Structure 1
Amino acid sequence: MYAIIATGGKQYRVCEGDTLLVEKLAVEPGEVVEIDQVLAVEKDGELRVGSPVVEGARVILKAVRHGRGPKIIVFKYKPKKNYRRKKGHRQPFTEVIVEKIEA
C-alpha cells in the first residue's frame, strides 16, 4: 500500500514506515501531523486517483526532528566589471515518519 501526498509544494510517494525530509512544518518533534492532500492511493492492487484529492484519505506523519540541508553557494558575477556577490543558503526541513495511511 502506498500513497502520493502533497506537502510544502512538493509531492512524495510514501509507504507506512518511510522516513522523509519535507519542507519545514510548524510542529514540535514528537507531534503527529495529518496530511489530507492525498493525490492517489494504491491498496490491494487497486489504484484510486483523486481529482485533485482522494476523498476521505489521509496520511498520519510523526515529526522526528528539524534540521537544515547542505549549504548551497549562490555566486553572481559580471565579467570585466568587477561585480561579484557570494551568498550561501541552507534550506530548513522536518524529518517525518509515515505512521499510517488511511484510505
Structure 2
Amino acid sequence: MKLPEFEEVQGPVLMLNMLKFKDRKYYFETYLPAFRKATEKLGINDVKIRLACNVAASILAPESEAWDAILLVEYPSASAFKTIAESDVYRDIADPYRLAATDTLHLYMTTPFEL
C-alpha cells in the first residue's frame, strides 16, 4: 500500500478504523496478533488500541455505511504508521489475515485538538 506523505503531521496520531467483517473472530484472534508480531519485528512497540466497540445502530448514516465495529488505534507518529503499512514485514505477516477477515475497512488519521 503506497500512502501519501505525512511529514506535516506532528506527534501521536489516532487511526479511526471503521470495519465491516467477513469474519470478526478471525480478525481479533488471528489478524491482531499477527499485526502485533509485525510491529514488534519493525521495532514499533508502542501502538495501542484506545477504543474498540461494536456499532449498535446507524443513526445519521445511509444503510450502505453500516459498520460492524470501530477501533481507535494510537500510533506514536504518522511516520510510524506509514512505516508499518508500507513494510514487507506487515505485508507478509499480517496483511493476508486482515484481507481474509475484513470485507471493508476505512481508515482516517486523526490528531487531537483542544476544546
Q: Please, what TM-score do these two structures have when normalized by structure 2?
A: 0.27
Greater per-residue strand proportion: 1
User: Quick check: which one's helix share is greater?
Assistant: 2
Q: Which has the larger radius of gyration?
A: 1
TM-score (norm 1): 0.28
By relative contact order (CA 8 Å, sep 6+), the higher-ranking structure is: 2
